[in-house]
Amino acid sequence: MTVIYPSPIFGPVHSRRLGVSLGINLMPADGKLCTFNCIYCECGFNEDFHPKLPRPTREEVRTALEARLQDMRQNGPAPDVLTFAGNGEPTAHPHFPEIIEDTLALRDKYFPQAKVSVLSNSTFIHKPAVFAALQKIDNNILKLDTVDEEYIRTLDRPSGHYSVEAIIEGMKAFHGHCIIQTMFLKGEYRGRDMDNTTDRFVLPWLERVKEVAPRQVMIYTIDRETPDHDLRKASHEELDRIGNLVREAGLEVSVSY
């Protein structure tokens, strides 16, 4: 079942990777806006969910977030993390840097122990204001599903110009203040084998991850229904093998099955 999240605040939900997570969705509540069109996205294909509503404004996000945090302080549960996620790419919001400033101030006011996380596909990290905002948060989680350009164009289907080299250089500029998140899966898409758990994909990916030297690597697989029904989860054994390779490279890794 396709998931279109409420906007601008949803949850809290229990995240496999982050704990009790209060979601912040900077996309319209009735559709999806993203610079990727991933064949595994739980929100469906972009072309099937064109929104009619606008993105929430900075003030709408701030007001809704403060109201929800006030309620959580009175009634629980306490969030482990405030997570920018939802129906698309959060850093594409025109006021993303200002919204980050508001969120950090509200976090400090109501739940100073909570982390602020952003789940990003990395396509806007070249913008100075976005880069600066991501430097200020606790968990700057950046997607890198592979370093194979052709495979990315089939799996993630980025819109417009996309360069793996440019993305990796942008990640390296954080000097370790980032977490790389990678989806591993199996199955087929339009007759093409989509298994990226083999050494053909894993070893070149790992070499570039080592260049970035992130604080952590998150590897995961499909958890919900995908818009393409010929995709399958990577097995526990496959994910564990990849996780062990990351550890052997001297990097911290978390594995979500």
Cα–Cα distance measured from residue 210 to residue 224, given in angstroms and rounded to the nearest whole number: 29
- Total domains present in the chain: 1
Residue 72 forms part of a structural domain = yes
Residue 57 forms part of a structural domain = yes
Residue 74 forms part of a structural domain = yes
Residue 189 forms part of a structural domain = yes
Residue 36 forms part of a structural domain = yes
Rounded average pLDDT over 218-231: 88
| pLDDT score of 48 | 66
Domain region containing 243: 9-256
The residues with which 82 forms a beta bridge, in sequence order, are 22, 116
* Beta-carbon count within 10 A of 97 CB: 19
**How many residues are present in the chain?**
257
| pLDDT score of 68 | 98
Rounded to 10 deg, the angle between the 164-172 and 199-212 helix axes is: 40
Residue 54 forms part of a structural domain = yes
Per-residue DSSP letters for 220-243? E---S--SSTTEEEPPHHHHHHHH
Cα–Cα distance measured from residue 113 to residue 253, given in angstroms and rounded to the nearest whole number: 23
Rounded average pLDDT over 196-223: 98
Residue 57 burial class via C-beta count within 10 angstroms: exposed 0-12, middle 13-18, buried 19 and up:
middle
Percent of the chain with pLDDT over 70: 97
| pLDDT score of 212 | 99
| pLDDT score of 226 | 86
> Given a cut of 90, is residue 242 above it in pLDDT?
yes
Cα–Cα distance measured from residue 73 to residue 62, given in angstroms and rounded to the nearest whole number: 16
Residue 2 forms part of a structural domain = no
> Given a cut of 60, is residue 230 above it in pLDDT?
yes
| pLDDT score of 3 | 61
CB 194 within 8 A of CB 201: no
pTM comes to 0.94
Q: What are the tens digits of pLDDT across the range 198-211?
A: 999 999 999 999 99
Q: What are the tens digits of pLDDT across the range 131-173?
A: 999 999 999 999 999 999 999 999 999 998 899 999 999 999 9
Residue 130 forms part of a structural domain = yes
User: What is the CATH number for 17?
Assistant: 3.20.20.70
Average pLDDT of every residue of the chain: 94
Cα–Cα distance measured from residue 147 to residue 213, given in angstroms and rounded to the nearest whole number: 15
For residue 194, how far is the Cα from the chain centroid?
Answer: 20
